[in-house]
Structure 1
Amino acid sequence: MTTEPYRPRRSVLYVPASNDKALAKIAQLACDAVIIDLEDAVAPADKVAAREKLAGIFDNRPVALGRRCEMVVRVNALASEWGADDLLAAAKFEPDGILLSKVATPRDILEVGDVLDDNFAPDSVKLWAMIETPKAMLNIGAIAELGRDPASRLNCFVAGTNDLAKDTGVLATPDRRYLVPWLMQMVLAARAGGLDMLDGVANDFRDLDAFARECAEAAAMGFDGKTLIHPAQIDAANRAFAPSPAALTEARLVKDAFALAENNGKGVIALNGRMVERLHLAQAEKLLAKAAAIGA
């Protein structure tokens, strides 16, 4: 499988396609990616008009703070009256990704990939999948396996915690104790498929202390970043999902140690009294690539 350049996804902001004021601010934001939302954030009566705004959005694709922000479009469920037209419209403008809602089985991903291929969407248009239904959780391993096949285009999972709580009846407590087992299952499946894994949104955007704690816990669980509903959440997410100075120092030590002539070809070395394997070198190189991508 071809290795693609690392793209940070610490902070991924939902922006309603119908909200001109929010769209105009993207270039001033420090988020790693934005999701132009045609689904939950847009009222049914406004969905067609929101879809028609995609042309203007992508004709003037914003460069956020001097760097090209990753641009993803979330389309309505393919089974809905808007989904098929959303998908064709999004593909036409060649976003970095198309986020599929209400994914339930691998077939949902494969069928969309076929549509993109049939409409000559370039390989650079990746697929992101919302994991937000009980059926998606039951099938998550099989869905994630598609990430190992570049032809599927599958690149990223996004936790849909609000919908998952609604559909299961699980109580959404501030500490998310009843959701954590499923969140960890998402991370495990994503890693098995070589996918990025983004945490769900925090609904109270005014309580930034609670949000920072949730980000720290998500980072500790292995998430790559968090989806956001308000620009005020960007800084806390960027801090939580960035490598710490201590981790970067350790990563450089591991990389430099393996680069020494006497360690050439070795699978295991000793470093400061610890056994270090090549899997630790791979982790170090990934961390350093992440730091380089975000300018840490």
Structure 2
Amino acid sequence: MSAETRPYRSVLYIPGSKERALEKAQSLPADAIIFDLEDAVAIEEKPAARALLAQTLTQADYGARARIVRINGLDSAWGRDDLAAFAQAIAAGAKVDAILIPKVSSPADLDAVAALIPDVPLWAMMETALGMLNAAAIAAHPRLQGMVMGTNDLAKELGSRFRPDRLPMQAGLGLCLLAARAHGLIIVDGVYNAFRDEAGLLAECEQGRDLGFDGKTLIHPAQLEIANAAFAPSEAEIDLARRQIEAFDAAMAAGQGVAVVDGKIVENLHIVTARQTLAKAEAVAAMQAS
């Protein structure tokens, strides 16, 4: 499955140090996996986690799931060793779809990583106030393929309180969404920490989908079903897209520039969206079949 068509409804964090979790992830219904060497791995476990993950991604089969490795920052004691290990592992056959860089605040953070690991797409954790302000410049980087919202770290920097409507986050979320869409990037929403709160997770997924995110990062497999459903086109959306295309094609054949569906005008711009909806539905079906 190509990067252009692959869905990213659910992006699950997996600790790179947990062999059992790495094995279980091969059968989970996640669209993508972030194999984490940063926050999820204790300091004393980082070298062993790096070696385990490199070996796992060389040998294990994760099917059509996107495999994203989150390294430690280059300002840490482990980041450069992470990159060296995965440059070597990829050359030896490890399957890595992207390297995720924590706390990206400027394009220079991407340049530093790009110089150390060639030919691998980069993703950026957007989780600092400076990163929000530099989102457009970051998104324009030629190696960047995706953005991940780090809402926990962003809340810490802002000093904001948790609100179900995420009002304190809206400026940052919007800036990153605009930047990602302007440059054709994938962008996924931040995590929902209360993994047993299904109603809260659903509400935040629906908000993220309404805003325009491609999917949501998750911290527990129990969250997968809700995120997958929330970020997939619904049956009603698929039906509407098909009817819009059919009605518009008929209007064009009759020499008219617009059509009417359910009492609403349908123009060419709506047909672009309708075709995108159907393409996404097909990609989701292909992902589920694989």
Report the 3-state secondary structure (helix = DSSP H, G, I; strand = E; otherwise coil) of the residue aligned with 2:117: helix
CA contact (8 A) 1:140 1:186 kept: yes
Q: Determine if the alignment matches structure 1 residue 271 to structure 2 residue 260.
A: yes
Aligned twin of 1:211? 201
CA contact (8 A) 1:62 1:69 kept: no
Deviates more, 1:7-16 or 1:215-224: 215-224
CA RMSD of aligned residues (A): 2.1
CA contact (8 A) 1:268 1:275 kept: no
**1:274 to 1:212, Cα distance in 2 relative to 1, 3 A:** closer
CA contact (8 A) 1:100 1:129 kept: yes
| Distance (whole Å) between structure 1 residues aligned to residue 152 and residue 180 of structure 2 | 19
| Distance (whole Å) between structure 2 residues aligned to residue 167 and residue 232 of structure 1 | 29
Post-superposition shift, 1:257?
Answer: 3.8
**1:17 to 1:254, Cα distance in 2 relative to 1, 3 A:** same
- Residue by residue over 1:105-157, the C-alpha shift from the partner in whole angstroms, topping out at 9 and shown as x without a partner, is 1122233223333xxx3xxx3211000011101101111223xxxxx221111
Post-superposition shift, 1:15?
Answer: 0.2
Report the 3-state secondary structure (helix = DSSP H, G, I; strand = E; otherwise coil) of the residue aligned with 1:39: coil
Q: What 5-or-longer segments of structure 1 have no aligned partner?
A: 147-151
**1:267 to 1:80, Cα distance in 2 relative to 1, 3 A:** farther
- Residue by residue over 1:67-125, the C-alpha shift from the partner in whole angstroms, topping out at 9 and shown as x without a partner, is 421111000111211111212323333401111101111122233223333xxx3xxx3
| Distance (whole Å) between structure 2 residues aligned to residue 113 and residue 277 of structure 1 | 42
Aligned twin of 2:85? 89
Query: Counterpart amino acid of 1:75?
Result: I
Deviates more, 1:70-79 or 1:176-185: 176-185
User: Superposed, which structure 2 residues align to 1:83-162 within 5 Å?
Assistant: 83-91=79-87, 92=90, 93-117=94-118, 121=119, 125-146=120-141, 152-162=142-152
| Distance (whole Å) between structure 2 residues aligned to residue 293 and residue 107 of structure 1 | 34
User: Superposed, which structure 2 residues align to 1:42-57 within 5 Å?
Assistant: 42-57=41-56
Q: What 5-or-longer segments of structure 2 have no aligned partner?
A: none
CA contact (8 A) 2:67 2:95 kept: no
**1:94 to 1:256, Cα distance in 2 relative to 1, 3 A:** same
- Residue by residue over 1:28-72, the C-alpha shift from the partner in whole angstroms, topping out at 9 and shown as x without a partner, is 210101010000000111111110112321122333xxx421111
Query: Counterpart amino acid of 2:127?
Result: E
Q: Determine if the alignment matches structure 1 residue 76 to structure 2 residue 72.
A: yes
| Distance (whole Å) between structure 2 residues aligned to residue 10 and residue 267 of structure 1 | 37
CA contact (8 A) 1:90 1:98 kept: no
Report the 3-state secondary structure (helix = DSSP H, G, I; strand = E; otherwise coil) of the residue aligned with 2:7: coil
**1:57 to 1:267, Cα distance in 2 relative to 1, 3 A:** farther
Post-superposition shift, 1:18?
Answer: 0.4
Query: Counterpart amino acid of 1:129?
Result: A
Report the 3-state secondary structure (helix = DSSP H, G, I; strand = E; otherwise coil) of the residue aligned with 1:18: coil
| Distance (whole Å) between structure 2 residues aligned to residue 74 and residue 44 of structure 1 | 15
**What fraction of aligned residue pairs are identical, expressed as a percent?**
46
Aligned twin of 1:185? 175
- Residue by residue over 1:164-195, the C-alpha shift from the partner in whole angstroms, topping out at 9 and shown as x without a partner, is 11122111233322112321222122111211
Q: Determine if the alignment matches structure 1 residue 200 to structure 2 residue 200.
A: no
TM-score, structure 2 as length reference: 0.89
**1:268 to 1:143, Cα distance in 2 relative to 1, 3 A:** farther
Post-superposition shift, 1:227?
Answer: 0.3
How many pairs does the alignment contain? 279
- Residue by residue over 1:217-268, the C-alpha shift from the partner in whole angstroms, topping out at 9 and shown as x without a partner, is 11111111000000000000001101111111121123334545x626x894
Query: Runs ≥4 in structure 1, deviation > 6 angstroms?
Result: none
CA contact (8 A) 1:267 1:278 kept: no
Aligned twin of 1:60? 59
